[in-house]
Amino acid sequence: MRPALHFTPRSGWINDPHGITARDDGYDVFYQYVPGETTWAPNCHWGHASGPDLLSLRELPVAIAPGDGDDGIWTGAIVRDGDAARAFYTATTVPDFGIGRIRVAYAEDDWSTWSKGDVVVEAPADLDLIAYRDPFVRRDGDLWRMFVGAAGRDGTAMALSYTSGDLDAWDYEGVALERNTAELDPVWMGALWECPQMFDLDGHSVMISSVWDADVLHYAGFALGSLDGGRFAAESWGRLTWGPSLYAPSLFTDADGRHALTFWLRGVGGADWTGAHSIPYRPTLVDGRLVVEPHPDVLDHRVPSWGDGVVDGLAADIEWSAADGVLTIASGSAPTITFTRTGDEVVAETPASRSVFPAIGAMRIVVDGPIVEVSSVGGAFSTGVAPAGPDMRVRATAGDLSVFGLA
């Protein structure tokens, strides 16, 4: 069963969202897409969707496809310079698709068609790398700065820095930030940072990335510190996501000019489709850690519940505040998921799985068909579930509970 508000493909496989852009009173969203398959394959395309808000997206034809020297079109970024738009993407070739190249494509018409340009950046020859991909581009004064994820053969995860004055010619500046997979304290950050993105938030610089090691996808982590030119000085590290679903956060600027994030959700699918995108979030800093909270677009989709914790439909937005207690989401007598909270620890149990994650303060729980997402100051959690509808029942043994439908 498909979610009502989370973006899914009509058919095929999707994963990383990227290039999310507020434009023309709505949003354009791009993503890695494998047509006709329900498992990942290296011949990724750039899928494309648009809508008036981030929970009302409509799938459009493929924006960029393999060919012209590309066997795969992998994750990248959209840059707008005046009226022009460029996509910087990871161009891959088989069999050695771990080491990509950064290529540019130019928007035509209404962004439905993109024409490929040159390869503008390649992996530095003096680094012994096993992976190189996922460009992220931002303004840095009078320059443009690009960060690319890389993995050294010795287990060092890196974000590499490049600069350009015109978006055409790029100069390699060196390693912006690195950390070895052997470092565990206070959080393990793996051997490769997929989609490393750097931005400024509340007087701090933030690096957020996905944590990869030996072809296993783990979670999203972050560093807080200061970015001076092309060098990021990390002062603290943290973990942002828990559970089997949330991965590949994509940073963008929303219609209000604020930072926002959308994640790829793993473990969700149907007979002929696999993958979904999370609800949008806004990042903030609380007590020295990165926190995400649901974007106002979610509030705009709230509708009244039937009362007494019953929702007429498959989607709900739930607020639960309790130091200890149990919250159950069910359809009739069959529980979809149960949260048991003891202080700052929550155990999430479905008929098929059990997960433990931290929660601090009030919990926000969004349920949408086969997807559950939870956020609090402690971090974000998501998992796939058997859908609860059409009459969803939410019950809590303690604390304050507010239940709204989503439509």
Tell me the domains of the chain and their CATH numbers. 12-295 (2.115.10.20), 301-406 (2.60.120.560)
Statement: residue 211 has pLDDT above 90: yes
Whole-number pLDDT of residue 349: 97
Residues 151-154: contacts with CB under 8 Å, at least 24 apart: 151/191, 151/192, 151/212, 152/127, 152/128, 153/128, 153/129, 154/128, 154/180
Closest CA to 264 of 16, 13, 73: 16
In tens, the pLDDT along 320-354 reads 999 999 999 998 667 899 999 999 999 999 999 99
Average pLDDT score, the chain? 96
Whole-number pLDDT of residue 360: 97
The whole model's pTM is what?
Answer: 0.97
Statement: residue 19 has pLDDT above 80: yes
Statement: residue 373 has pLDDT above 70: yes
Q: What is the side-by-side strand order in the sheet with 241-242?
A: 241-242, 379-384, 371-376, 363-368, 315-321, 400-406, 302-304
Percent pLDDT > 70 in the chain is 99
Sign, Cα dihedral of 202, 372, 26, 58 = positive
SS3 state at 299:
helix
* Burial of 350: CB neighbours in 10 Å, binned 0-12, 13-18, 19+: middle
SS3 state at 87:
strand
Statement: residue 156 has pLDDT above 70: yes
Which distant-in-sequence residues (6+ apart) come within 8 Å of 256 by Cβ? 296
In this structure, the strands spanning 324-331 and 379-384 are unpaired
Whole-number pLDDT of residue 313: 87
CA distance linking residue 342 with residue 29, whole number of Å: 38
Torsional class of 45: left (φ above 0), alpha (ψ -120 to 50), beta (otherwise): beta
- Tokens standing for 57? 């997206």
How many H helices and E strands in the chain? 1, 34
Whole-number pLDDT of residue 99: 98
SS3 state at 296:
helix
DSSP single-letter state for residue 181: T
- Tokens standing for 387? 């859908």
Whole-number pLDDT of residue 389: 67
Whole-number pLDDT of residue 333: 65
Whole-number pLDDT of residue 306: 86
In tens, the pLDDT along 229-247 reads 899 999 999 999 999 999 9
In tens, the pLDDT along 27-46 reads 999 999 999 999 999 999 99
Report whether 226 contacts 235 (CB < 8 A).
Answer: yes
In tens, the pLDDT along 257-314 reads 999 999 999 999 999 999 999 999 999 999 999 999 999 999 999 999 888 899 988 8
SS3 state at 332:
coil
In this structure, the strands spanning 281-286 and 289-294 are antiparallel
- Tokens standing for 116? 């490929």
Entry field: residues in the chain: 407
Statement: residue 110 has pLDDT above 70: yes
Whole-number pLDDT of residue 33: 98
Whole-number pLDDT of residue 320: 98
The β-bridge partners of 394 are 329
Other C-beta atoms lying within 10 Å of the C-beta of residue 1: 10
Rounded mean pLDDT, 106-130: 96
CA distance linking residue 47 with residue 36, whole number of Å: 13
CA distance linking residue 113 with residue 7, whole number of Å: 21
In tens, the pLDDT along 63-87 reads 999 999 999 999 999 999 888 999 9
Structural element, H or E, at residue 22 = strand 12-23
In tens, the pLDDT along 173-184 reads 999 999 999 999
Tokens 């089997």 identify what position? Answer: 244
Provide φ and ψ at 314, rounded to 5°: -105, -5
pLDDT band at residue 391, thresholds of 50, 70 and 90?
confident
